[in-house]
Amino acid sequence: MNSKPVPTPIVKTTNLHQNDSNAYQDPVAYRRLVGRLLYLTNTRPYINYVAPQLSQLMANPTTAYFKTMTRVLRYIKGSPGQRLFYGTSSYLQLKAFSDYDWASCIDSRKSITCLYVFLGNSLVSWKSKKQNTLARSSLEAEYKALAATSCEIQWLTYMLDNFRIPFKRPAPLYCDNDPARPIAANSVFHERTKHIDIDCHVVKEHIQSNMFHLLPIKTTQQCADILTKALDPSPFIFLLSKLGVINIYSPACGGGGYWSQVIMLIINSHRILDQTRLR
């Protein structure tokens, strides 16, 4: 309670791995804190990068992992009023941001899939998850992330259709990987893409069905970049503002988007059910 707040949840130079330090003396307390951080990811998407990393070493946590977790707690202490804001004037169109972090896990060398999906200007879905298989190239990791994002857009599209909510199509999907976009538009597969042909077909099929279209974006403007790596305070705060995260204790805060909140509640209920099944 007496610690000083920090501007970011994780230091940029932090590299967590299994044998980085000595074992932590109280693993039960560590697991309890990690569980609470994972619960907070339902309303605080900006800690969804560091919280899953801390959960990877639940059996035998190290002092370095605990030190990283205490920094997350110091960040939360300094921003108790940060929440997602749903505006009443938001237009109904899905838009997504897809990114990846290639071979970022030091222990397994697996890549991380990161995505954000907005309904208008309201963030309704996000994910930062380690990919199931190793990616031999950054292009392969990017296409795995694009395939996961396209499936998320498809699910949300079906949900809106079932609710009979009119929304604008196609959804823009922003990707900052330049080689990935031409491959998605090119119907000819070659030696470079034969190991990711399934993901390529998934993305191409959704593009041809007019579900979404790929658009370029600068890395500095890529919202999903906040889920791929630790950032300095300036870019972290800038990307945080693009997520629609504001201080709810501010007098200027008020209102809420009805349909965005409905979608968010349903997605969170699915997440809680999935976590219950895993337990």
Give the count of beta carbons closer than 10 Å to the beta carbon of residue 13.
Answer: 6
- Specify whether 11 is located in the same domain as 72: yes
Q: To which residue do tokens 């979608």 refer?
A: 263
Q: Give this prediction's pTM.
A: 0.82
The pLDDT tens digits for 105-121 are 777 888 889 999 999 88
Q: To which residue do tokens 């259709």 refer?
A: 161
pLDDT band at 170 (very low <50, low <70, confident <90, very high): very high
- Specify whether 12 is located in the same domain as 104: no
The pLDDT tens digits for 171-181 are 999 998 777 77
State the CATH number of the domain containing residue 215: 3.30.420.10
Contact 47, 9 (CB under 8 A): yes
- Specify whether 1 is located in the same domain as 76: yes
pLDDT at position 195 over 70: no
Would you list the DSSP string of 193-223? TGGGHHHHHHHHHHHHTTSEEEEE--GGG-G
pLDDT at position 149 over 90: yes
Contact 212, 171 (CB under 8 A): yes
Domain count, the chain: 2
d(CA 86, CA 82): 13
Among 48, 80, 112, residue at a domain's last position: 80
